[in-house]
Amino acid sequence: NAGVTQTPKFRVLKTGQSMTLLCAQDMNHEYMYWYRQDPGMGLRLIHYSVGEGTTAKGEVPDGYNVSRLKKQNFLLGLESAAPSQTSVYFCASSPPHTGALNTEAFFGQGTRLTVV
Amino acid sequence: GQQVMQIPQYQHVQEGEDFTTYCNSSTTLSNIQWYKQRPGGHPVFLIQLVKSGEVKKQKRLTFQFGEAKKNSSLHITATQTTDVGTYFCAGKLRSGGTASKLTFGTGTRLQVTL
């Protein structure tokens, strides 16, 4: 089982360049998320999606855009990369939540992005 | 700012010693989840707590949800080198909108040496 797959795994960008991170899940999950992980900051939510065609902002959405054109894919775009966006990016997916409960989130392997 | 804090940020123990990490939220949580991330890896779900005062055990790991649902703890008895990693709590903030928005804590990195 592939689970959640992120591409690429590593990338170095120059300031001002653009790129798209791809997240694909084969578990038919409704919900998908993009997090960034920085030392001492934990995981911070960038954007998330509760279904195909819908997206919403998380805690730190500035400088990022997302799209969920297909249920299994969630794309994270950086239009003009900045050094502050150097981070490890994790995609996750989960089944729909029930009432006050959250469901288990399954994470991809991460993308290590460096902006110079 | 960060609404879910964890302490300590880092702890180094000798194998066989106990370890506890604490998760504190500025607002009431509807539920709390715990994840473990091995060095160089990705977070992996451990458990979810829902009820006030709830305690759950997984072998040497004991998870507790506070009575006021604003804090939680993870206690590891007799640590082993396989426990090395970063432990995150994550919760749905009661005032934070939909259940789909998990807020992660800052994490506690555990190092275990022989």
Whole domain around residue B44: which residue ranges?
4-113
* pLDDT given for residue B96 in this prediction: 47
Put simply, the answer to whether A101 touches B105 (Cβ < 8 Å) is no
Distance CA A77, CA B23 (A): 32
**Token pair for B4:** 């879910």
Q: How many structural domains comprise chain B?
A: 1
pLDDT bin (cut points 50, 70, 90) of residue B24 is very high
* Residue B91 pLDDT exceeds 90: no
Put simply, the answer to whether B31 touches A50 (Cβ < 8 Å) is no
Distance CA A8, CA B36 (A): 23
* pLDDT given for residue B59 in this prediction: 97
Contacts of B105 in chain A (CB under 8 A): 42
In contact, B38 and B67? CB cutoff 8 Å: no
* Residue B1 pLDDT exceeds 90: no
Using CB atoms within 10 Å of the CB of residue A14, give its burial: 0 to 12 exposed, 13 to 18 middle, 19+ buried: exposed
Q: Mean pLDDT score of chain B, rounded to an integer?
A: 91
Average pLDDT over residues B66-70: 94
Instruction: Choose which CATH entry (3.40.50.300, 2.60.120.260, 2.60.40.10, 2.60.120.10) describes domain A4-96.
Output: 2.60.40.10
CATH code of residue B52: 2.60.40.10
Q: Kindly report the nearest CA distance between residue B16 and chain A, in angstroms.
A: 26
Distance CA A92, CA B42 (A): 10
* pLDDT given for residue B94 in this prediction: 60
* pLDDT given for residue A90 in this prediction: 98
pLDDT tens string A47-94: 999 899 999 999 899 999 999 999 999 999 999 999 999 999 999 999
